[in-house]
Amino acid sequence: MEQEKEYLTFILNGEEFGVDILCVQELRVWSAVTQLPNKPEYIKGVINLRGVIIPIIDLRQRFGLTPLDYNEQTVTIILRSADTTKPMVVGIVVDAVSEVYKFALSSIRKPPAFGQKIDSCFLEGLASVDNKLIILLNSLSLLDQNELYQVDSAIHNNAVPV
């Protein structure tokens, strides 16, 4: 039998992105955060999720896009790493949640190496559904502290014209 993987997709600046659904803990509406001092813009702060303190990342800003205003419709996806030895929970703010798709592993194509506005380390592959192209994000690097919290300055500077 062909191996399949399920992805939750969300919209970010008109593009559709997908994350491994096994890493998605829950979806939440935007709630007020507590700021962390002297931290980059994309780290919005921390929230209390039933006694656990988790950081909230604005994925638009993390990927070097201009942020939207937050309102009651703003969605936060709470991701939890599947690696039980190093559990890490983080919330990402996205424009909207879209669908759940099932892709055969063989139908996922390798991402192009360059020319992306997002750090290529987060890219896992590309998949197409109904003539749409969905960018699949690598949950391992998305949930890796070093990758997530350290912005490749070259990419970031190019993306945000000063």
Name the site residues for other proteins (rule: CB under 8 A): 32-39, 45-48, 51-55, 87-90, 145, 149
Which C-beta is closer to other proteins: that of 34 or that of 128?
A: 34
Which C-beta is closer to other proteins: that of 11 or that of 149?
A: 149
Q: Which residues are CB-neighbours of 144 under 8 A, at least 6 positions away?
A: none
Which C-beta is closer to other proteins: that of 52 or that of 96?
A: 52
Which C-beta is closer to other proteins: that of 42 or that of 103?
A: 42
Which C-beta is closer to other proteins: that of 31 or that of 158?
A: 31
Q: For the CB of residue 56, give the shortest distance to other proteins in the complex, in Å.
A: 10
DSSP conformation class of 109: B
What strands lie across the sheet with 43-49, from one edge to the other?
24-29, 75-80, 89-94, 52-58, 43-49
Task: Give the C-alpha separation, 25 to 13, whole Å.
Answer: 23
- Are 47 and 34 within 8 A, CB to CB? yes
Q: For the CB of residue 74, give the shortest distance to other proteins in the complex, in Å.
A: 18
Q: For the CB of residue 86, give the shortest distance to other proteins in the complex, in Å.
A: 10
Please give the backbone phi and psi of residue 76, each rounded to the nearest 5 degrees, phi first.
Answer: -115, 125
Q: For the CB of residue 55, give the shortest distance to other proteins in the complex, in Å.
A: 4
DSSP-based helix, strand, coil % in the chain, nearest 5: 20, 45, 40
Task: Give the C-alpha separation, 111 to 108, whole Å.
Answer: 9
Q: For the CB of residue 38, give the shortest distance to other proteins in the complex, in Å.
A: 6
